């Protein structure tokens, strides 16, 4: 039972950084975050792809789509600019480097609407950084409501104990109705009891 639930523990942590769950910021694949930039239109997402090719961010220019990183390479990070996720494995740039992208998530309750912008774009190094700043990034309270891995493991153990008690209780109830009492209801009692009777009979025959 525990092994079956382990994958759930792993996937539940995919969009967690420093005990903050950012999965609420993940948008549908067909409705990603959009940004207009000189000569480019950026599509990006958080903890999710923007297309069927597994890209987490793309740049579109002259009807050509360039990958800015794969969702499968997602890596959380924290630096002086805040929390975020970075992605690698994008298309090859003119400089020969593979494009990579970073998405910063900043909590800001002083604004009423999220501000989505390009923080930096270095076309020589083939890197681009996006930023989401606003109330939607303030998800600390929501993350506290989610179950931690320790709590989930505790629940699993509690369920296993309950199952054992139910099975043992059912066994005792069945034995009660067939007339067994005390230690006679124990599953291995009849086996040991028969061995003791056989030993006593054998000893009596020898005497």
- pLDDT for 149 equals 73
For residue 98, give the DSSP letter. B
Of 106-110, 158-162, 196-200, which range is least confident?
A: 196-200
Integer angstrom CA distances of residue 195 from 69, 172, 179, 206: 70, 22, 21, 17
- pLDDT for 189 equals 58
pLDDT digits (tens, 9 = 90+) for 67-95: 999 999 999 999 888 889 999 999 998 88
SS3 6: helix
- Above 60 in pLDDT, residue 205? no
SS3 125: coil
- Dihedral sign for Cα atoms in the order 147, 150, 154, 159: positive
pTM here is 0.61
The percent of residues in the chain predicted with pLDDT above 90, rounded, is 47
Determine how many CB atoms are found less than 10 A away from the CB of residue 82: 14
SS3 45: coil
- Above 70 in pLDDT, residue 106? yes
- pLDDT for 11 equals 40
């Amino acid at each position: 039972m525990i092994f079956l639930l382990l994958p759930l523990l792993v996937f539940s942590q995919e969009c967690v950084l420093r005990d903050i769950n950012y999965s609420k910021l993940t948008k549908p694949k067909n409705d990603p975050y959009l940004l207009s930039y000189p000569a480019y239109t950026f599509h990006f997402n958080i903890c999710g792809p923007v297309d069927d090719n597994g890209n987490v961010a793309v740049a579109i220019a002259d009807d050509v789509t360039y990958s800015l990183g794969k969702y499968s390479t997602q890596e959380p990070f924290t630096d002086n600019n805040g929390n975020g996720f970075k992605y690698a494995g994008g298309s090859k740039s003119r400089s020969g480097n593979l494009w990579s992208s970073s998405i910063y998530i900043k909590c800001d309750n002083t604004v009423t609407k999220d501000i989505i912008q390009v923080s930096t774009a270095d076309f020589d190094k083939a890197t681009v950084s996006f930023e989401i700043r606003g109330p939607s990034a303030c998800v600390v309270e929501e993350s506290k409501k989610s179950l931690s891995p320790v709590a989930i493991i505790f629940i699993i153990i509690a369920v296993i104990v309950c199952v054992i008690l139910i099975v043992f209780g059912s066994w005792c109830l069945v034995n009660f109705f067939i007339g067994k009492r005390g230690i006679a209801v124990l599953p291995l009692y009849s086996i040991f009891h028969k061995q003791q009777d056989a030993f006593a009979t054998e000893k009596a025959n020898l005497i």
